[in-house]
Chains A and B, each alone.
Chain A
Amino acid sequence: DTAVSQTPKYLVTQMGNDKSIKCEQNLGHDTMYWYKQDSKKFLKIMFSYNNKELIINETVPNRFSPKSPDKAHLNLHINSLELGDSAVYFCASSPGGWSYEQYFGPGTRLTVT
């Protein structure tokens, strides 16, 4: 029973393409997140999404757009991919609130050539 799952695990694509990464959680959590891990292993929040409220990190280019069809899913769509988008993208979920831990998916390694 995978708590937070992501597809695909690996994604190799060319510059300029549009791609999506899917995330699903079966924990019944209200809040989901997208994080980016760069080549130096540094993790940074991109988005958080609670029901209908989307919190956008101002450092994220508008080529990145999260889409949530329902509470259990938060997909990440990326337009016009650039070399610098190469990274590992992690989805996470939590019950919400200030003291709850977050549960992470296995990550999607995106390589843009």
Chain B
Amino acid sequence: AQSVTQLDSHVSVSEGTPVLLRCNYSSSYSPSLFWYVQHPNKGLQLLLKYTSAATLVKGINGFEAEFKKSETSFHLTKPSAHMSDAAEYFCVVMNYGGSQGNLIFGKGTKLSVKP
């Protein structure tokens, strides 16, 4: 079975400082992992994905994530936060148990950015 655990429900940073959103995964197979972002009252947008290629994955808006098999982690980072980054972030794993590959979401991390 696959699952993801987001270690922080809320992260607050100051504008211009680094962002770290933590995610651990559990998977019986080599996982497909994703980070999605949801801005207030908006839909979900894909930030980046890992599918067993390079372990350091670069996404949109300056975000990147590193797949660490030894630590079963897929943390999301950004060197410098912008006010527009304030949103809910979801770590997601592909469910290989489903016949059509549905996604299993973490509980989300709310990122607040202070001026």
Q: Which of A's residues lie within 8 Å of B, judged by CB?
A: 31, 33, 35, 40-45, 48-50, 53, 55, 90, 92, 94, 96-107
**Cβ contact within 8 Å between A41 and B108:** yes
Q: A45-B102, A48-B100, A55-B100 are in contact. Are A98 and B94 (CB under 8 A)?
A: yes
Chain B residues positioned under 8 Å from A107 (CB to CB): 42-43
**Cβ contact within 8 Å between B49 and A101:** yes
> Can you list 30 residue pairs at the A/B interface with Cβ under 8 Å?
A33-B102, A40-B107, A41-B38, A41-B108, A42-B108, A43-B44, A43-B90, A43-B105, A44-B105, A45-B95, A45-B104, A48-B100, A48-B102, A49-B100, A50-B100, A53-B99, A53-B100, A55-B98, A55-B102, A90-B43, A90-B44, A97-B101, A98-B32, A98-B94, A99-B32, A99-B49, A99-B51, A102-B46, A104-B36, A104-B45
Q: A41-B88, A41-B108, A42-B107 are in contact. Are A101 and B101 (CB under 8 A)?
A: no
Chain A residues positioned under 8 Å from B45 (CB to CB): 104
Residue of B nearest to A95 (CB): B101
Cα–Cα distance between A12 and B60 once the two chains are bound (Å): 35
**Cβ contact within 8 Å between A103 and B107:** no
Task: Name the one of B32, B43, B96, B105 contacting A106, with C-beta atoms under 8 angstroms.
Answer: B43
Q: Is B67 positioned at the interface, with any CB of A under 8 Å from its CB?
A: no
B85 CB, min distance to chain A CBs, angstroms: 17
Cα–Cα distance between A45 and B68 once the two chains are bound (Å): 27
Residue of B nearest to A105 (CB): B43
Cα–Cα distance between A97 and B98 once the two chains are bound (Å): 10
A46 CB, min distance to chain B CBs, angstroms: 9
